[in-house]
Amino acid sequence: MTSLTDTASDLARAQRKARRAHALNRIASALTTVGLGWLSPLLRLAAGENPRQQGIELWRQMGIPLTAILLFLAAWGWAAPQVQTSLGAIPGPAQVWEQATNLYADHKAERAKEAAFYERQSKRNAEILAKDPKAEVKTRPYAGKPTYIDQIFTSLKTVFTGFLLGALVAVPLGVASGLSPTVNAAINPLIQIFKPVSPLAWLPLVTMVVSATVSGSDPLFEKSFLTSAITVTLCSLWPTLINTAVGVSSIDRDLMNVGKVLQLSGFTMVRRLVLPSALPYIFTGLRLSLGVGWMVLIAAEMLAQNPGLGKFVWDEFQNGSSNSLAKIMVAVFTIGLIGFLLDRVMLALQSAVSHSPAR
C-alpha cells in the first residue's frame, strides 16, 4: 500500500514538473521573441532548476551583453573628449544623458503650458456664455512648438502609414507574382529598376506630385505628412514584395495539387493554403520593409524639413549651440532603439499569427 502511495506521489510530482517545464518553455519563447530572453534563466532559477546551468545561461544572455555595453560606454567616455569639432568636444555618455533628461523636461513643461492654455480658454468661454448664453465661442488649438517626444510620435505615425500602404501593395503583388510566372515576368523588370532608387531621388518627385494634387487651406492630411509617408512606401515595399513572391513560389506543389483536387476556389486556395504556407517569408519581408522604411523616413524628414526626428537632427545641426551635438546623439540612440523595438514588434506579431514547432 505504501509502495503504491509513493508511486502515485512520484507520478504526480513528475507531472507537475513536466507541466512547469512546459509553461517555462512557453514563457521563455515569448520573452525571447520580444527581446527579453535574459529573464528566462531568472524564472528557471526561481522555479528551482539547476542553479549552475541557469547561472551560465544568465551570464551568456545578460552578463556578456551588459559587459559589452559597459566597455562601449567606457571607451566612448574616454575617446569623446579627444575629438574636437567646431562645436567643441564630442559629448560623452554623461552629457548625452543630461540632454535626454532636459528634452523630457522640456516636453513636460510644454504639456503644462498647453494644459494651462486650454484651461484659460475654457474659463474665458464659460464667462462669455454666462453673460450671453447665445454667444458664439471658439476653441483655438494650441500653437506651441512640437517637443522632442512629439516629433518621435510624428515619425512613428508617418512610418507606420507608409509601411502599411507599402504592405497593402506588396503582399497582393507578391502573391500574384509567386503564383503566376507571367505576372512575375511582367513585374520583375520594374522591381529591379525601382528597388535601388534612393529616397533622395524619390523625394522631389513625391513633393511635386503631392503639392499639385493636395490643395485647399485645410486638407485631410498635411502635405509634409503625405510626402514623407509616400516616400517611405515607395522605398520600403520591395523587400515585402520579393519575399512574398519567393515564399509563394516555394510552396509544395503537392499542397497546391490537393487544393485543385478539392476544387477550392482561387480566393479560398490563397487564404487557406498559400498565405499560411508563405507567412514566414511574408513576415521576413515585412520586418525588412519596416527597417528600410524607418531609415528612409529619417533621411526624408532631414532633406524635406518635414516634422519628425529627422528634422530635429537637422535643426540641431544648423543650430550650432554647445548642446547640439549631445542632442543629436540623443536622437541617434532614440532612432536605433525605436528601430530595434519595431523589429521586436514585428517578430512578436509573426510569432502570434504563425505556427512553429515550439508553439
Q: Would 316 be classed as within a structural domain?
A: yes
Q: Would 187 be classed as within a structural domain?
A: yes
How far, in Å, CA of 314 to CA of 299, rounded?
10
Q: Would 1 be classed as within a structural domain?
A: no
pLDDT (tens digit per residue) in 120-138: 888 888 887 787 777 777 7
How far, in Å, CA of 264 to CA of 257, rounded?
10
pLDDT tier at 173 (50, 70, 90 boundaries)? very high
Co-location of 114 and 204 in the same domain: yes
Domain boundary among the residues 29, 53, 81 is at 81
pLDDT (tens digit per residue) in 290-317: 999 999 999 888 888 888 899 999 988 8
Residue 33 lies in domain: 9-81
pLDDT (tens digit per residue) in 17-56: 666 666 666 666 666 665 666 666 766 666 666 777 777 7
For residue 100, pLDDT over 90 is answered with yes
Contacts of 232 (CB under 8 A, 6+ apart): 158, 159, 161, 162, 163, 166, 199, 293, 296, 297, 300
pLDDT tier at 167 (50, 70, 90 boundaries)? very high
How far, in Å, CA of 221 to CA of 210, rounded?
11
Q: How big is the CA angle at 251 (ends 245 and 253), to the nearest 5 degrees?
A: 130
How far, in Å, CA of 90 to CA of 96, rounded?
10
The H or E element that residue 85 is part of is strand 84-85
Q: Domain of 197: which CATH number?
A: 1.10.3720.10
Nearest CA to 233 among 188, 194, 184, 190?
194
The H or E element that residue 84 is part of is strand 84-85
pLDDT of residue 158: 92
Of residues 341 and 268, more confidently modeled: 341
Give the three cell numbers for residue 269.
486556395
Question: Average pLDDT for residues 183-196, to the nearest whole number?
Answer: 90
Distance from CA of residue 71 to its chain's centroid? 27
How far, in Å, CA of 151 to CA of 308, rounded?
4
Co-location of 15 and 107 in the same domain: no
Co-location of 77 and 208 in the same domain: no
pLDDT tier at 168 (50, 70, 90 boundaries)? very high
Asked if residue 240 lies in contact with residue 167, where contact means CB atoms within 8 angstroms, the answer is: yes
Co-location of 53 and 164 in the same domain: no
Asked if residue 154 lies in contact with residue 144, where contact means CB atoms within 8 angstroms, the answer is: no
For residue 12, pLDDT over 90 is answered with no
Task: For CA atoms 178, 182, 184, 187, give the dihedral sign.
Answer: negative
Co-location of 72 and 147 in the same domain: no
Question: Average pLDDT for residues 74-102, to the nearest whole number?
Answer: 87
pLDDT of residue 269: 76
Domain boundary among the residues 52, 81, 110 is at 81
pLDDT of residue 357: 42
pLDDT of residue 155: 93
Structural domains in the chain (count)? 2
pLDDT of residue 24: 65
